[in-house]
Structure 1
Amino acid sequence: MKIPISVLVVIYKSNRDVLLIERADRPGFWQSVTGSLDTLNEDLAFAAAREVFEETGIAVDRLPKDALQNMQHHIEYEIYPEWRFRYAPGVTRNIEHWFALEVPDSTPITLTPREHVAYEWLPYEEAAKKCFSPSNGEAILKFLAAN
């Protein structure tokens, strides 16, 4: 069963283009890297780095030390009914912690086909509009419009 605590990682380049990935289980649903903690005591930054590597092939530990930034923001949202089977019975809400990751412009992306089928780099305003989750768009704008 999934733990209802997750991370969202906005990955961006120096020109402020943002990486979006398309879900394999929901064609047309574009998002940033997301994922649940593996254990209740898993460090949030570790979970963020793990999910980034699993979903994009980007090794955060090979980037500058300050590349991964905890945005010090979290939200609580209702889990879509069609995805609740992944959680313990009765779990309907998730707490999501936001991170941002700056990567070099030439960073290669290697998707995990069972999770994501396509990716694209978009100017941050376009990326925010394309996200299927309004809170994902909000995370992009909160970080990149302020920086």
Structure 2
Amino acid sequence: MSATPGETPKPYKRPVSVLVLIHTPERQILLLERASHPGYWQSVTGSQEGDEPLDATARREVLEETGIDIAGEGLPLRNWQQSHVFEIFLEWRHRYAPGVTHNTEHVYSLELPAPRPVTLAPGEHLDYCWLPWQEAADKVFSWTNRDAILQLARP
């Protein structure tokens, strides 16, 4: 279990997550600024909970982090059938069981017709922006996020 002083312990995070690129047909990319690390920009990300199917994880994380209801709006969530393994940053390892050092991230995308306002998760993100794919690829802190943006941009 993980907790900061004064908090109720929470179950450890699973080292399995999703990355959801939200974009327009013109490849405008939605980025979110992390509250816990101002200046770190990313696409929607989040860990799988329990035995939750990965598609459900992606839908839940998009709803929690942006307010976009994929199922309710009948939006096209695309599973890329692609994953990456990366080392978990030391500052975030306390969220995982002792000895867990790597995470497997599964890539998804969601195409919206145009940029739109989103509702940020309080305490999780500070701001959002829509950027052309080139600028978005340069702005994200994660190599997996950058590579997914670059892959999306390929014809």
1:113, distance to aligned residue in structure 2 (A): 2.2
The answer to whether the aligner puts 1:79 opposite 2:97 as a matched pair is no
Could you tell me how far apart the structure 2 residues matched to 1:74 and 1:144 are? 18
- Cα RMSD, aligned residues only: 1.2
Match of 1:128 in 2: 137
Deviations 1:83-137 (A, max 9, x none): 0000000000000000000123253300012100000000011101100111111
1:48 aligned onto 2:28: no
Count of residues paired in the alignment: 144
Residue equivalent to 1:17: 28
Q: For residues 106 and 136 of structure 1, what CA distance do their matches in structure 2 show?
A: 19
TM-score (structure 2 length as normaliser): 0.89
Distance 1:58 1:64 in 2: 11
Residue 32 of structure 1: aligned partner: 43
Identity of aligned residues (%): 51
- Tell me by how many angstroms 1:16 deviates: 1.2
List per-residue Cα deviations over 1:48-67 (Å, max 9, x = no partner): 000000000000013345x1
TM-score normalized with structure 1 length: 0.93
Amino acid at match of 2:58: A
Task: Report which of the two structures shows the higher radius of gyration computed on alpha carbons.
Answer: 2
- Structure 2, gaps ≥5 residues long: 1-11
State the one-letter code of the partner of 1:25: S
